[in-house]
Amino acid sequence: MSARARANGEGSIFPYRNGFAAYVWASRPDGRRYRKYVYGKTRDEVHDKWIDLQKKAKDGPITSSDITLGAYLDYWLREVIKPNRAPHTYSSYEGFVRLHIAPGLGDKKLSKLQTQPRVVQEWINKVARSCRCCVQGLDARRPEHARRCCARSGGQCCESYLTARTVSDIRACLRSALSSAIDDELITRNVAKSVKLPKIRRAKRRRWTTEQARAFLESARSERDPLYAAYVLVLVLGMRKGEVLGLPDDAVDFDAGELVIGFQLQRIDGKLLHRETKSEASDDTLPLPDIAAMALRDRLAARERDRAAVGEVWQGAPLMFTTRYGRPVEPRNFNRSWDARCRKAGVPKITVHDGRRTCGSLLADLDVHPRVAMRILRHAQFAVTMEIYTDVSSEATRAGLKKLGESLDG
């Protein structure tokens, strides 16, 4: 009986120097086809390697020993990050790779890069001290009257450097990719782990006092701000902006006095995504304080009035917070409304996320146990809660020092 004919892509076994060799047509991570070879002293030895190689080629891309970091990053983003991580994570990593990692290190061979920690250190140092306008050519895309960097007449650099946090995030992106390459058995050392960065000093976050938070909410309530209930959820329940805007219209159970948190609304790469929250720790069912329950009742009533007023042009997004035409509220527009309300209420301007931190700080001022606050804020790690608890208000600091002074006063 004749041997089975080789199928397309199986390659062949042939004499080679003092032994034998075989090849199989395989795909690289970037999609290109190439011949992958195996070698051995005897035909049987090569045949076993050849069979194993055929199985690997059918399972997916096979990397060659000369693959560059840029080619591997393309595969890593496409096959590892995009299917398995949150859209925001993929968008961030893709930007780091496209703007910083690939231009500086993309042509380096993975096998050589693992022995060149100095090259990676020099690259990250250059990233940290490079002006974004100059490196990315931002001025060239701006109207001539709006240019502010080297492309402007006079050529004075605007020195728009990346923050230390962003540089750290770029390093973390590279480190994650190289860890994946180790899992794929392409390299044995992650040189990004040895890269040194300046220490990141934690920025002093602004927060409101109880009186300022009350003034903010009172201003919104008295003027019938359509987002009043959203502000309450941020300051009273410590909800994130995306969680508030992505709250389904049936998420509240008024009879049980509970609110179910499980979705978020984000605009990523030009698309508005309504998806699950970032982690299981973010999902929870929280009891509703009276102020939140009343605000949400009013919000649903206002939503029905909007639906009746616009009639057939109502878009019908199944969300708690919508525009007057039933469309989702844009996250940027929510930021603008928050900032405008800060001005109207006469309170210091803080970000929406600082409003969430204000909730945590006020809980600390009220001596709420940190474990209870962790449940309310839905932190995945207790250390995050304690970071907020250690950032006590000046009033609490003053009271603590006064108490200490009285105890030591002889």
- Which residues in the chain come in under a pLDDT of 50? 1-10, 410
Q: Are 76 and 180 in contact (CB under 8 A)?
A: yes
* Whole-number Å distance between alpha carbons of 327 and 304: 13
> 210-401, which class in CATH?
mainly alpha
Residue 358: CB partners within 8 Å, gap ≥ 6? 207, 208, 213, 235, 350
pTM listed for this prediction: 0.68
> What's the CATH code, domain 69-194?
1.10.150.130
Count CA within 13 A, CB hemisphere, residue 288.
22
* Whole-number Å distance between alpha carbons of 132 and 147: 13
Chain centroid to Cα 277, Å, comes to: 12
Which pLDDT value is given to residue 268?
84
Which pLDDT value is given to residue 1?
37
| Per-residue tokens: 245 | 């805007």
Which pLDDT value is given to residue 147?
74
Q: Do domains 69-194 and 210-401 have the same CATH topology?
A: no
Chain centroid to Cα 96, Å, comes to: 12
Residue 56 amino acid letter: K
Backbone φ and ψ for 264, nearest 5 degrees, come out as -145, 160
| Per-residue tokens: 391 | 């950032």
Residue 80: CB partners within 8 Å, gap ≥ 6? 180
* Whole-number Å distance between alpha carbons of 126 and 73: 20
* Whole-number Å distance between alpha carbons of 21 and 14: 6
Q: Can you give the residue ranges of every domain in the chain? A: 12-59, 69-194, 210-401
Q: Are 285 and 258 in contact (CB under 8 A)?
A: yes
**Unique residue bearing structure tokens 């199944």:** 318
Which pLDDT value is given to residue 93?
95
Among 233, 246, 261, 264, residue whose Cα is nearest residue 358: 233
